[in-house]
Chain A
Amino acid sequence: MSSPDQRGRFRRLRSAYRLISALISLHPKIFAVALAGGVSFAVATVASSLAIRWVIDNVIIIRFDEPPLAGGQLLIGLGLVIGIGLLRSVAVVVRRSFAGIFQWRSAETLSRSVAERYLRQPMSWFQGRSEGDLIARAGVDVEATVSVLAPIPFATGAVVLLVLSTSWLLWTDLPIGAVALVAGPSLLWANVRYQRRAEGHFTAAQEHLGDFSGAVHESLDGVNLVKAYGAEERETRRLGELAAMVRESRIAAIRLRATFEALLELVPALTNVCLVVVGAVRISSGDLSIGELTAAVFMFSLLVFPLRLIGYVLSDLPRSQAGWARITEILSDPIMADPKDRIGVAPDGWGVTAVGVTHTPGREGSGADMNPTLREVHLQVPSGEVLAVVGATGSGKTTLIEVLAGLRSHTGEIRVAEGPQAVVLQEAFLFAGTIRANLCLGEPYEDEQIWTALDWAAATEFVSELRKGLDTVVGERGVSLSGGQRQRVALARALLRRPVLLLADDVTSALDPSTEIAVLENLRVNLGSTTVVMVASRPSTILLADQVAFLRDGSLVEQGLHSDLMSRHRDYRAIVEAFETDRKHSGAAVTQRGRDE
């Protein structure tokens, strides 16, 4: 009967085998070349110690025993040493190059597969998943998974080397071989044990460093506050305590490493001392030559590094397996139905029709459905009309826009006019690239079209003032632009497509009043035939609309004229007049003047 511990170990080994063979099947040929390099290296290593032995026995010892110099023997010896050395070098180059190719091509395949999966899954799939976690799976986790690959050819070679050298030593001389047979595996065992234990310390140190970095980031993020309250010293002290945790866990790791490094020097050296002593006895009895003894010592020193590497691979396996599990989780998740496919074509004359549309958040099939955020909404927007969506925070405005855009799942029926569609989302997301690339997103638009769209979005002025104009690179997420500028670029991106249907979530919230007016004016003039559904949070946006849809707690209260809604619903009035209320504080005389114009 095997103990549970052994069974667990067996299971781990089997899953490690599965992981490695799955990865090898991605690029089997490259792996084969790397492996051949690894094995040739092992063979050449054994051969090189044999060559040294030959030179010692047949050139050096003879020369010092019987003075005349044997030129021929010397040449053969040199040829052997140099030739095998070169062979060994070539094997290393082949092994390392192809191991690298294998590792990084596998990483490429995995990263690409995961990223493509992200691009194929609909938005609803992303709900409840953290962005950072998903990014890690395509990046850090892939790296962890493939990190075990590069050393495999070497490790395989090392195993071959171990077997070859031990059998050679045993064959040359039993006692000498026995010493090696005891020392080799125990060195390997010490390696694995050390790596496992060190792993704990390094993980702890890494976690403390993560905490510390997070805290530094937060503290510098809030530096205004820290300075406003003169809390510089207090913050430094607090962060210092976290830094001290990093220091302590690192010192613990160093203590372990110091012992291990010393042992790693000591054990092979002591083994060599044993070999010399045992060897001397064997030479004395005539069972061993000086060359054989020296070669044994030489070979043993060559084993130290490969043994270390096998230990490394074994201890690194769990990390790879964890990464692999996280990757396969993504790859084996079936592609969810795209809500876009459930959106039909509206009859002629209608821009959008929605009948009994309901949206329930929560991941589909997860069972834990929450309350619907959109309930039985009916909408009808004639072609070319503008519908403003109004409601308090949390009333379902954004959800409505995203459901209509096919970004969120729905029940009920949605039909939209056929033709190009554009969506302006609440967060104006810009990609790290040029302004042009952000506008075109891979479509071939002429400069003229681009500038027209920028014009409508009131973005021409600031874009043309940028040093490289359209070819200016905006930083990741567009950090080099202000919020209002980002929003205008995102709006231009939508207008560039001359959409038949424009869905917009609060287009002008980050614009100052003058710019807002200019943009809305442009929309009114240039989007004559476009059906527009837009979230409105300012009266000026509402005034642009033909009709208003008023939402309350996810339900449509009424779709109708602004004036009707104003007279019928007290809470509608309250929302619209939030700004109005502000204005009342500001002096009647000027109010009158403002109204006249």
Chain B
Amino acid sequence: MSEPMGRFTAVNTISRGLKEAPILRQGLGVTWMFAAIGALGRVVVPILIQQSIDRGIIGVGQVDLTAILLFGAIAAVGLTVAATCQRIAILRLGSRSEKALFNLRVRLIGHIHRLSLADHNEQRRGSLTARVTSDIDTLTQFFSWGGLAWLLDGTLVLIIAAVMLSYNWVLALTAFFVAAPLVIVLRLVQKRLVVAYERARSHNADMTTSISEVVSGSRTIRAYGAEEYFTDLTRAAVHRRATTQIRANVISAFLFPSGEVFSVLTIAAVVSMGVWIGPAGGLTAGAVVGFVFLAYRFLEPVAQFTEVLDQTQTAVAGLRRVMAVLDMPIGPPEAEITRDLPDGVLDVICDGVTFAYPSRLEGRIESRLLDEAVIKDLNLVIPAGQHVALVGATGSGKTTVARLIARFADPTFGEIRIGGVPLHLVANDDLRVRVAVVSQEPFLFDDTVIANVRFARPEASDAEVWVVIGTLGLTEWAEGLSHGLQTVVGGRGEVMSAGERQLIALIRVGLINPGVLILDEATSSVDARSEVEISRALASLARGRTTVSIAHRLSTAARADRVLVLDHGVLVQDGTHSELAATPGPYRVLYEDWMRSTRSSSAEHLDTYGERGRAG
């Protein structure tokens, strides 16, 4: 289990981040050196002015032009070198951080894909996507602006301070002393600013929700004549967004001027102190004028730096979220020493299987585990080749049982064996080929039909795919597609009908040769023609294989060799359809409801039809 996030300090997070992304550390010293030389460029002009005033310009008609030209030439060379170094530093830091973040992104994707399915529920999916996209992007922002500021501005403040001290330590200390409170003021303003922006962001999200509902809920709004009500709601949401944005803006309007005020105060203090000391203390006019410039240059990076601190906080928070995902244990891990599955059809044995979602167990005492478990002490033997239907209400655990058999997660207690081999000892590659899961609300990528079929086995040739299509009796269907197997299915397969999506999923399974087939039945019905094609293809797939169906429709259960009824994670009934339907119990209740809801007419109508059917 991962450590609670609160225990990570910022420093820990950053040093872990550096460990995860070694590219960032490589050559950091060299980058810093370039940045430092670049930063030196900023003090060239003030020094030039000081030198010119003190050593070149003595008065009217007394200008040492040779010296001035020499100073100017040195300054120009220095500035060019500094600018070149600065360019190198930005480039090094920028490209390295892009590379590092790219590596982190890929690692993160790999890790997320390997997480247990228990960690992949609807609510989490959005936030996992955000880890890979927007959180990593916060880091990018930080590295390309904030990271540079740390290197450049930090160095700059030190360099300027050093130059000031070398000119005159009294003046320098005066400047530091007057400027110091700026840091406190800036921190105060920025803290409020962060809060204000946070609020503005959340109201912005509310506004987007509100507007998107006006669009996607337009049918409902019109159906109920609720236009006025939604006009008011939207108006309020839009207004709140503007108001919070303005508030944030007004606070930020004070950021720059506070730097300005302190610059002016510092300059005033330096000038007063300089004039008060006078030439007596070895001070020169050039140095005082130079100080006026340095004071500005000194406060610039200080102001930027405080802004960077907030960016740093955001970045550290983003990094922490990324690390937390990397710390999540990956889904069922592969055993170090694996055992091969026997060839052919496989039997399935569940031995005292209990399962509870790990996320729901966090911080709970062991004794409550059974309350939270979605599968409780399941013992089951499915002989090779048998067709079993899992039946139960939503939340009864039938889907979970199927997922455990496919090893999308490991049981909390107990063991599942297929073909006599404990599931956790089967190599992943072996498992994925021998145990196939077919969802009847299958997922399709926005690609061609054949690309979606090949997802099961990318190296399969066109001929192999056509053989499978033929075996499943779908040749006619496949040839009838607008662009054959090259037809593009659209996002989530939206171009295809529900029935066609199922057919594609079945061909996909046909491409591998599983010993156990797990069928997750669709909840909604499809058109009559697809229905016929689907059941024919399914029958051909299931022939001679151990099949576990998650049955949402009782007609499916009725066709199975054996029915297992689950209720709140407990196996309550086990038998054939006709046995269970004739015995009082939960299955019988379900069955009778189903009978009533599917009865199309009174017996009289049926009879009428029956007669006509015979007559015709």
26 pairs, CB–CB < 8 Å, chain A vs chain B: A64-B284, A74-B271, A81-B267, A100-B250, A104-B245, A111-B211, A112-B234, A112-B238, A131-B215, A135-B215, A222-B445, A236-B106, A251-B94, A269-B41, A269-B45, A285-B61, A301-B296, A393-B497, A432-B209, A441-B229, A538-B598, A539-B599, A579-B598, A582-B555, A586-B554, A587-B558
Q: Mark B111-133, 1 if CB is under 8 A from A, else 0.
A: 01110010010100100110011
Q: Is the interface of B mostly helix, strand, loop or mixed?
A: helix
Q: How far is the CB of B171 from chain A (nearest CB, A)?
A: 12
Q: Are B221 and A119 in contact (CB under 8 A)?
A: yes
Whether A449 sits at the interface, judged by CB under 8 Å, is no
Query: Interface code B192-205, partner A: CB below 8 Å = 1, 0 otherwise?
Result: 00000000000000
- Do the beta carbons of B446 and A283 come within 8 Å of each other? no
**Which listed residue (B110, B234, B527) contacts A232, Cβ 8 A?**
B110
Complex: chain A residue closest to B206, CB-CB: A432
Question: Interface segment, B11-19, B431-439, B481-489?
Answer: B431-439
Interface size class of B (residues with CB under 8 A): 35 or more
**Mask: chain A, 491-522; 1 = CB below 8 Å from B; 0 = not:** 00100010000000000011011101100000
B480 CB to nearest A CB, Å: 17
- How many A-B contacts if CB must be within 8 Å? 491
* Complex interface bits, A214-234 against B, C-beta within 8 A gives 1, otherwise 0: 001111111111111111111
Closest CB in chain B relative to A57 CB, distance in Å = 11
A318 to B615, CA, bound (A): 76
Distance from B217 Cβ to chain A, minimum over Cβ atoms (Å): 5
The 6 nearest A-B residue pairs measured at CB? A100-B249, A442-B229, A85-B264, A539-B600, A594-B595, A230-B432
Tell me whether B238 and A111 are in contact (CB under 8 A): yes
Report Cα–Cα, A402/B607, bound state, in Å.
Answer: 36
Q: Which residues from chain B contact A583 at a C-beta distance below 8 Å?
A: 555, 595, 598
* Bound Cα distance from A269 to B125, whole angstroms: 51
CA distance A497 to B226 in the complex (A): 13
B559, A585: Cβ atoms under 8 Å? yes
B90 is an interface residue with CB less than 8 A from chain A:
yes
Residue in B60, B122, B512 whose beta carbon sits within 8 Å of that of A283 in the complex: B60
Given A97-B250, A407-B223, answer yes or no on A216-B593 (Cβ-Cβ < 8 Å): no
Answer whether residue A563 sits at the interface, using C-beta atoms and an 8 A cutoff.
yes
Since A221-B443, A261-B86, A280-B65 are in contact, a sample of 17 more A-B pairs with Cβ atoms closer than 8 Å, ordered by chain A residue number, is A64-B283, A88-B257, A92-B260, A97-B253, A111-B241, A119-B214, A138-B211, A254-B91, A257-B90, A269-B83, A290-B289, A407-B219, A423-B223, A510-B523, A582-B598, A586-B555, A586-B577
The reply to whether the CB of B359 lies closer than 8 angstroms to some CB of chain A is: no
B461 within 8 A of A: no
- Closest B residue to A540 by beta carbon equals B597
Cα separation A112 to B211 with both chains bound (whole Å): 9
CB contact under 8 A between A258 and B90, given known A273-B75, A479-B122: yes
Given contacts A56-B289, A284-B65, contact A81 B238 (CB under 8 A): no
Q: Interface 1/0s, chain B 17-46, versus A by CB < 8 A?
A: 000000000000000000000100110110
B76, B456, B591: which contacts A590 (Cβ < 8 A)? B591
**Interface hit among A11-19, A349-357, A525-533, A569-577:** A569-577
Q: Are B528 and A100 in contact (CB under 8 A)?
A: no
User: A56, A239, A277: which has the most chain B beta carbons within 10 Å?
Assistant: A277
B601 contacts A539, CB within 8 Å?
Answer: yes
* Interface hit among B51-59, B309-317, B413-421: B51-59
Determine, out of A158-166, A186-194, A240-248, A375-383, the stretch whose residues face the partner at the interface: A240-248
Judge whether A309 is part of the interface by a CB distance below 8 angstroms. Answer: no
Chain B, 129-167, CB within 8 A of any chain A CB: 129, 132-133, 137, 140, 144
Instruction: List A contacts of B86 (CB < 8 A).
Output: 258, 261-262, 265
Q: Which residues between 68 and 119 of chain A lie within 8 Å of chain B, taking CB atoms?
A: 69, 74, 77-78, 81-82, 84-86, 88-90, 92-93, 95-97, 99-101, 103-105, 107-108, 111-112, 115-116, 118-119
- Whether, in the assembled complex, B252 has its beta carbon less than 8 Å from a beta carbon of chain A, the answer is yes
The contact of A258 among B91, B408, B455, B554, by CB within 8 Å, is B91
Residue A276 at the chain B interface, CB threshold 8 Å? yes
Contact B49 A297 (CB under 8 A): yes
- Partner-contacting stretch, out of A120-128, A359-367, A451-459, A549-557: A120-128
Closest Cβ of chain B: how far from A429's Cβ, in Å?
A: 4
Instruction: Tell me whether B208 and A135 are in contact (CB under 8 A).
Output: yes
Q: State whether A277 touches B68 (Cβ < 8 A).
A: yes
Interface status of A543 (Cβ within 8 A of chain B): yes
Q: Does A180 contact B (CB under 8 A)?
A: no
> How far is B531's CA from A577's CA once the two chains are assembled, in angstroms?
13
Whole-angstrom distance between the Cβ of A204 and the nearest chain B Cβ: 14
Q: Which residue of the partner chain, among B129, B221, B271, B591, contacts A77 with CB atoms under 8 Å?
A: B271
B87 touches A405 (CB 8 A): no
Q: Is the CB of B120 within 8 A of A220?
A: yes
Q: Is the CB of A431 within 8 A of B211?
A: no
B211 to chain A: closest residue by CB: A138
Least Cβ–Cβ distance between B219 and chain A, in angstroms = 6
What CA separation (Å) do A510 and B523 show in the bound complex?
8
Instruction: Give the Cβ gap from B416 to chain A, nearest Cβ, in Å.
Output: 16
Q: Does A342 contact B (CB under 8 A)?
A: no
In the bound complex, CA of A387 to CA of B431 (Å)? 53
Q: A59-B271, A273-B76 are in contact. Are A566 and B605 (CB under 8 A)?
A: yes
**What CA separation (Å) do A139 and B271 show in the bound complex?**
51
Mark interface residues in B583-605 (1 if CB within 8 Å of A CB, else 0): 00000011111111111110111
Let me know if A272 and B45 touch, CB within 8 A: yes
Partner of A108, one of B241, B508, B599: B241
In the bound complex, CA of A190 to CA of B69 (Å): 27
**A369 interfacial by beta-carbon distance below 8 Å:** no
| Distance in angstroms between the alpha carbons of A529 and B379 in the assembled complex | 54
Instruction: For B89, give the chain A residue with the smallest CB separation.
Output: A258
Stretch of B274-282, B339-347, B538-546 contacting A (4+ beta carbons < 8 Å): B274-282
Q: How far is the CA of A402 from the CA of B581 in the complex (A)?
A: 41
A442 CB contacts on chain B under 8 angstroms? 226, 228-230, 232
List the B side residues contacting A286 at CB < 8 Å. Answer: 60-61
Judged by a CB distance under 8 angstroms, whether B381 is at the interface is no
C-alpha gap A150/B248 in the complex (Å): 14
